[in-house]
Structure 1
Amino acid sequence: MKAAAEDKLIYTPEFFRLNIPAEKKAFDDLRTANKHLFEHDEIYSQLRELIKSQNPSVRIKNDEYESRITNHLGGAAIREYGVWVYYPWSRRLIHLLDEDEFIEVRTNRNQYKITKDERSILGKKKIGIVGLSVGHSIALTLSMERGFGELRLADFDTLELSNLNRIKTGLHNMGIPKVVIAAREIAEIDPFLNVRCFFDGLTEANMDAFFTGNGKLDLLVDECDGLDIKIISRLKARELKIPVVMDTSDRGMLDVERFDLEPDRPILHGTVQSVNPETIKELTNEEKIPVILQMLGVENLSLRAKASMVEVEQSINTWPQLGSSVTLGGAVGADVCRRILLDQFHQSGRYYIDLEELIPEKGEKAQQSAAPVNPFYPLSDEAMRVLINGSQFEKITNCIIPEPETIRKLIHSACAAPSTGNDQPWKWLYDKGTLYLFHDEYRSFSFGDFQKMASFISLGAAYENLYIAALALGIEPILQFLPNRSSEKLVAAINFRQIYNTDESFFLRPLSKKIYERATNRNSAPKVTIPLSTLNILGQFAESMADAKVLWFTDEDDLAIFAKIIGACDRIRLLNKAGHYDFVHREMRWTKEDADSSKDGIDIRTLGLSNSQLAALSVIKDENVINALKGFDGGRAFDMLAKQTVANASALCMITLPEYNLRNFFEGGRSMERLWLAATDLNLAVHPLISPFYLFPRITHSDGEGLDPESIIELNELRDKFVKLTGLDDNRAEIFLTKIAVAPKPVVKTQRLPIEKVLTIIEH
């Protein structure tokens, strides 16, 4: 038989004292009307316990209890002694000692951890609990200790099967409101405790009733998932000077905010000062995670919690909680609540009872892997001279010899070029009118620079900046590429001659004004349609390099396929040991101070992320988190970042050259820079999405070097989709893949090394 809807809301038992005629009649009527009641009468054993508790120093013999009980009853019939309590939801009728004697016996074993005077104080306290997962455990623990006089429970949810991993209750309670389940279980522990249920959870509408109805709360326990309510309830608690306790069920973290003692204290220890509760109300679980990480401090989370956060709304619905952690939270939360209410604990703060630290596995803790060994040394002036002396160059006639100051200006422009992770792999030496371009492999050594592709694209872009800047000064660079085939460290020798007005010089000179303005623009903005004529202009600049080919993709279905390919490649790279190291240690500058000091890498501020998003990003800094994700085939959230990025792209642009070799990667870098400068001139945002081009060559031009077998299989599948979409063959030099969009200009740009670190001028 299904319970009626109203029956699901009943949580208050009925009391019958049979020495009161009206209640005795009601009791008899109940038993007559209900043929299937479950009567439970253990009043005699309770009286034994009562008498024993009243005579702790006396060893009472078993045969003495009957006479003592008879004397205690004073002529009253034992069946009518005390009180009968009826629990409608279970149809149980239970015979109990009445309130004072019941409390005396039930709390007997609290003595003297909780004295009678302290019990009396607690019996006058009002506690509110919001959220009944961890809150359920705290509520029941407080009830067992009789740590309150009134308990207000707020939760809008009903019990589901998946809740039973952490809420200790029976399957028969599925579909019952969580507040009702908790209130019923409290009543079954102690029917004399006063419990009030707020079935809608805590809302702005019922907040006054929850906090002050029938008297102001003495303490608030926050265990709700609603971030807006977490903030709003704390603002209310601070206004009313009510302390707040919160357990996170991770690493045994307990949060205490003593607004009663510190009424000006910032809520949640100041971690959410920039968060507006109105704007986070409708966030998905996935979107809440950055705020949660900011609130809790990503560095404070357990390894498994960090890894799980990445998987929310990917392979799991929401953040996980374990029964053991929730049970621990119930114990710790109830203990601190009691001590606050008894004026025995006064601090605010965050406290940890991390069982994995307290009871660790023997042996060493998991360690971060050692950094990859860089086999190269920084390129010295002496080494550059040796390379020059070992090379032969064609003699260029009609050359001019620019002044050193002109060379400095040109190199300053060259070094404004983009490079992978802003590694700036170039060095320059100027001697007797010839400028030499070198590849500093020490700076470019990385997982991303497979077969030096990325470096030579960057070197080509740097040379293109120099070339355009020189044209603007009225001189023309003459390039000799790779004069020394035995060493790819010496990339080119450059001479100069007076310029003659040519179509190319007229075409390119205007771009010189955009060299220092050009930047990666990761800012998000609504999708805007860019006219085909504008895209054609960009294509003309890119294809002005011989053999360069530009492909445009604007179809929504095509963009969706690209987003999946790019996202999967981003994930494969981040889950790769060397790729992860590159991202965390080689590329990213996690603080402004680091960026200002190094003058290279990617300043995290250029990502345009909020503080909460930065907290989410910092989850993946830990290599152990990455290893955990790989262990359960996770990390799909990384795929979603590309989907979000591509979603507001006006177009994706791809540049290729006919053959896979370093010369074409160099020339491709020049083509890329022309397009990028032209896009800057047209106020278009360029956001490179190049992980596929750095990973695909590992399967098309090697046997999967540096990749695990699973990644090789997935990359081959992704490559098939890519070829089908683009029509490209494996031998083309795939140079550049980028998002083109309309977005606000970035406020912060990546920095560059001082020119004296990259340019040597030989004085004669």
Structure 2
Amino acid sequence: MPQEAHVSEDPRGRLRRLADRGTDHADSADAAGWRPTLFRLDRNGTDGLTALLDSGAVRRVHDRLADQLRALVATRRPADRHPAAELERRAWAFLVGRHPADHGTWVWYPWSGTLVHTLPEAEYRELRTARNRHKITTTEQRRLAGTRIGVVGLSVGNAAAVTLALEGIGGAFKIADLDRLELSNLNRIRGRLADLGAEKTVLAARQMFDVDPYLEIERWAGGIRPENVDEFLLGGGKLDLVVEECDDLHLKVLIRERARAHRIPVLMDTSDRGMLDVERFDLEPDRPVFHGLAPSVRAADLCGLAAPDKIPFMLAILDEERLSTRAAACLPEVGHTLETWPQLASGVALGGAVVADTARRLLLGEPVPSGRYYVDPDALVAPGAGLHHTPPTVPTATAGSDAPALPPEPRRGAVCAEAARWIAAVGTLAPSAHNAQPWSLTWRGDAARLECRHDPARDLPSLDFEHGATWVAFGALAENLELASAHLGLRADTRTWPDPDDPALVCTVTLTPGPASPRVPIEVVGRRATNRRRGPRRPLGAGLAPLLEAACAEAGGRLRLLAAEPELAEIGALIGAGDRLSLLNEPMHRDAMAGYRWTPEEARARPYGLDLATAELTGAEQAVFRVLRQWRVMACLSEFGGGRALEDLARSSVAGASAVGLITVPGTARESYLRGGRAMQRLWLAATAHDVALQPMTALPYLFARLERGGGQGLDQGERASLRALRTRYRRLFDTGTDEAEVLLFRLAHVAAPSARSLRRPLDQAFSSSRGSGSGTAGWR
């Protein structure tokens, strides 16, 4: 018998029947249609979730809780480099022995048929907003989550509401709109074809809940009317902000009148030229609505007014001369070639962003005054408005690593201006804090004397307590002058502060013929340089420590060296903390940054201060450092307790050090520091002769001096407390006393030669010659 033919139902009828059923479901306004249901197995048991699973409504279970726990662990301690196994162990420690399903929340989204497992509310919010830090601080994020926001009109309003939810601005929302989603709305409202016919309040609520299921959202699908506007603004707790984006002129004015009565601020974006209205009725309860642009307009007068009759009011409010050209041209076309006012997705998205950004600042109490503002892409991205029309030229390389050139060497044994000039040139190769080169040298030919003066224009007052570092630099200068004199077969008689009435005259060096020999070859003076290169740690080398100690002791200094790994790790942490503290202090930051030369051209134009190339930074470090030279950035870091990355460079430098040393001398007077400068230079030249790199790391000792001998002048209470704690740890490494000058804290390392050296001022800027005698200032530059 032939098989009976199968007769299928006509697809047209079947589609009609299923479409009707789907429409009924989509249009459902009950709680199951737009609000998620939250299940906590450790609180309300398994019955509810079991019933849901048994119903067959769940089409997908999405459980990525393990990923979220691992991300939470990593976010809480981002500086740690978690091995995968350790990250996994710490992540599952959250469960405290419970079943994974019992941790967090199971969120049922009925509109997608999806059941999602996520973190409990506090952890969820912490992780979801982790990428907001520190643009929004943790404290600010909590404040924002506690605010109540009303959104009226869900075109621009949809973009604003979803952006607010994404950014964690607002914990409770009221959203109002009468309309349903139409196909023509999809030119600017994010939705799906499958959402057509859905109430706009339902669409916005679902999108916001998809971002954050813990939000409180109240839908006002019936819209706002005179009889319920106060309930919208005050019911369940007064709104902190209203975002008004509706099309109805009567409602626009009504909302403002009532918001003003209740002192609630209002924001509105028009999606044309990025125009934003801010009306701070919370601060200005007598402020006219719409800034008084339509002074006679009242909501009661607009009720029932025909659309053409509203146009004069709209033009007055929008300021027709400031409308974009195309928007203005569209006005007379409404009702003719246009059904309604046109809007573009880009304008709506921009409006949502501008509203959210302004709302955040307003709700956090930042200054957001009333007024009209334009974030107009046409004006911002326009001919002549942008930067870098011509690409910047690539900077040429810095001078390189060669020693500075010296004048021709004069004949030996002659006391003359040429000899003095050459000796001065060798002298000014001495190191100075921040390469300030704080000296001016004058040759008095009749007296055969070099006068070395302090140039206060080169001071770094906040970094150099009581000029200690300046006197150290003069000690190194005097040491170089004596070495250069000996190289020429001349004796050098150095006297410090010879004239009580002339404190700027730090020392004089009188030259006489006579047998003399330098302690080190003069070429070592030229090779000496600060070397900040980093590399793997290598031992200092047998016999080098005693040699350096002896060199230091020759000038009356004492050297203490740290070489054990735990000690180096601790001193690296302390130096880093000192760097962080000084860079977060505004005067110290200003002096430090003013001393840098940020481009090769700037270094050549002002050959004093620190050429950035000598810092031996990686590309990433250099980029960050350039940003950190702006005090506004540092102030922001300080505000939220950041800046730990400022410690990383010192830690990294010390991590590869063979040793870290401290030079001290007895006493704390200026003479002590100058003597310490001699000890420093002798040690440095000895290290250079043995190809050992030296890098000063001086911030901490001078901070301690400011704290202890200066009473913490220039430091706030918190900075003083931090320094006292650092001092306690520091003294466990270095047994210094209060009657000692800590001249130089430095790193020794076996690394390659520096890639760049700090430049020196042209000799004619630092040296002058005069036939006159005495200690006058003739010829001083």
Deviation at 1:568, TM superposition (A): 1.5
Q: 1:615-669: CA deviations, max 9, x gaps? A: 1111211111222222222222212222111111110011110111111111111
Aligned CA-pair RMSD: 4.4
Partner residue, 1:591: 599
Match of 2:466 among 411, 430, 451: 451
AA partner of residue 525 (structure 2)? I
The corresponding residue for 1:612 is 620
Distance 2:546 2:428 in 1: 28
Q: Indicate the residue corresponding to 2:716 in structure 1.
A: 708
CA distance in 1 between partners of 2:762 and 2:361 (Å)? 46
Q: Report if the CA contact (8 A) 1:551-1:655 is conserved.
A: yes
Q: Per-residue displacement from partner, 1:105-133 (whole Å, max 9, x unpaired)?
A: xxxx99xxxxxxxxxxxxxxxxxxxxxx8
CA contact (8 A) 1:38 1:91 kept: no
Aligned mates of 1:42, 1:639 — CA distance in 2: 59
Counterpart for residue 472 of structure 1? 487
Give 1:668's match in structure 2, choosing from 655, 668, 676. 676
Q: Which residue in 1 is equivalent to 2:587? A: 578
Unaligned stretches of 5+ residues in structure 1 = 1-16, 32-36, 46-84, 96-108, 111-132, 135-140, 151-164, 174-251, 253-329, 337-350, 364-399
Taking the aligned partners of 1:423 and 1:446, their CA distance within structure 2 comes to 12
Equivalent residue number for residue 196 of structure 1: none
Is 1:603 equivalent to 2:611 in the alignment?
Answer: yes
- Aligned residue-pair number: 439
Which residue pairs with 1:169 in the alignment? 211
After TM superposition, the score normalised by the length of structure 2 is 0.50
**Aligned with 1:600: secondary structure?**
coil
Partner of 1:343: none
How far apart are the structure 2 equivalents of 1:577 and 1:601? 19
Gaps of 5+ in 2: 1-8, 31-55, 61-107, 114-153, 156-165, 168-184, 195-206, 216-273, 275-343, 371-412, 773-781
Partners of 2:18 and 2:25 lie apart in 1 by 18
Which residue in 2 is equivalent to 1:526? 536
- How far apart, in 1, do the equivalents of 2:760 and 2:449 lie? 24
Determine if the alignment matches structure 1 residue 410 to structure 2 residue 423: yes
Q: 1:531 to 1:94 in 2, by over 3 A?
A: closer
Structure 1 distance, partners of 2:764, 2:709, is: 37
The amino acid across from 1:763 in the alignment is R
Of 607, 623, 629, which residue of structure 1 is paired with 2:631? 623
1:562 aligns to 2:571 (yes or no): yes
Alignment of 1:167-566 (within 5 A): 168-171=210-213, 361-362=368-369, 402-431=415-444, 432=446, 433-500=448-515, 505=517, 508-510=519-521, 512-545=522-555, 547-566=556-575
Which of 3, 15, 27 matches 1:42?
27
Report the AA paired with residue 557 of structure 1: P
Question: Which amino acid is the alignment partner of residue 756 of structure 1?
Answer: D
Aligned partners of 1:621, 1:166: CA distance in 2, in Å?
40
1:571–1:639: 8 Å Cα contact kept in structure 2? yes
Structure 2 Cα separation of the partners of residues 146 and 702 of structure 1: 63
Q: Amino acid of the residue matched to residue 59 of structure 2? A: P
Distance (whole Å) between structure 1 residues aligned to residue 735 and residue 423 of structure 2: 39
* Alpha-carbon separation, structure 2, partners of 1:697 and 1:94: 67
Task: Quote the offset at 1:476 in angstroms.
Answer: 2.1
What is the CA distance between 1:149 and its match in structure 2? Answer: 10
- Identity across the alignment (%): 28
CA distance in structure 2 between the partners assigned to 1:352 and 1:524 by the alignment: 48
| Aligned amino acid, residue 731 of structure 1 | D
How far is the alpha carbon of 1:361 from its aligned partner? 3.4
CA distance change for structure 1 residues 531 and 93 in 2, over 3 Å: closer, same or farther? closer
Matched with 1:88 is 59
Amino acid at match of 1:509: V
Q: 1:42 to 1:758 in 2, by over 3 A?
A: closer
Does the CA-based 8 Å contact 2:187-2:345 persist in structure 1?
no
Offset, 1:25: 13
Q: Work out the CA distance in 1 between the residues paired with 2:112 and 2:431.
A: 79
Residue 454 of structure 1 and its aligned partner are, at CA, apart by 0.7
**1:143 shift after superposition:** 9.9
C-alpha separation in 2, matches of 1:331 and 1:486: 77
Q: Secondary structure at the match of 1:509?
A: coil
Shift of 1:576: 1.1
User: How far apart are residue 39 of structure 1 and its match?
Assistant: 8.5
Shift in Å at residue 436 of structure 1?
A: 1.1
SS at match of 1:516: helix
For the 8 Å contact 2:188–2:345, the answer to whether it is kept is no
CA change 1:88–1:553 in 2 (3 A) is: same
Deviation at 1:613, TM superposition (A): 2.3
Please give the alpha-carbon distance, in whole angstroms, between the structure 2 residues aligned to 1:618 and 1:93.
50
Q: Residue 18 of structure 1: CA displacement?
A: 9.8
Q: Which residue, 679, 682, 688 being the options, matches 2:696?
A: 688
The SS at the match of 2:441 is: strand
8 Å contact kept, 1:424–1:444: no
- 1:634 match: 642
What's the CA shift string for 1:78-97, capped at 9, x where partnerless?
A: xxxxxxx97713585899xx
How far does the alpha carbon of each residue in 1:9-63 deviate from its partner, in whole angstroms, 9 at most, with x for none? xxxxxxxx99589999999xxx9xxxxx998263999xxxxxxxxxxxxxxxxxx
Aligned partners of 1:425 and 1:455 also within 8 Å: yes
CA deviation profile, 1:451-474 (whole Å, cap 9, x unmatched): 110100001111111111222222
Displacement of 1:443 in angstroms is 1.4
The match for 2:729 among 721, 726, 742 is 721
Letter in 1 for 2:529: A
Partner SS for 2:554: coil
Q: Is the 8 A contact 1:525 1:743 kept in 2?
A: yes
1:297 aligned partner: none
Distance 2:615 2:190 in 1: 52
Shift of 1:540: 2.0
Task: Find the aligned partners of 1:352 and 1:621 in 2 and give their Cα distance.
Answer: 31
Change (3 A) 1:354 1:464: farther
Look up the SS of the partner of 1:628 in the other structure.
helix
Distance verdict in 2 for CA 1:750–1:332, change over 3 Å: farther
Q: Distance in 2 between matches of 1:44 and 1:736?
A: 76
**Deviation for aligned residue 1:403:** 1.1
User: Which letter does structure 2 place at the counterpart of 1:426?
Assistant: W
CA distance in 2, matches of 1:553, 1:500: 40
- Whichever residue aligns with residue 426 of structure 2, its letter is S
Q: Residue 745 of structure 1: CA displacement?
A: 1.1
Q: Tell me, what secondary structure is at the counterpart of 1:696?
A: helix
The residue type equivalent to 1:634 in the other structure is G
Q: Is the 8 A contact 2:460 2:591 kept in 1?
A: no
Q: In structure 1, the residue corresponding to 2:663 is in which secondary structure? A: strand
Determine the C-alpha separation between the residues in 1 that align with 2:716 and 2:665: 29
Alignment of 1:135-174 (within 5 A): 145=189, 168-171=210-213
CA distance in 1, matches of 2:576, 2:735: 20
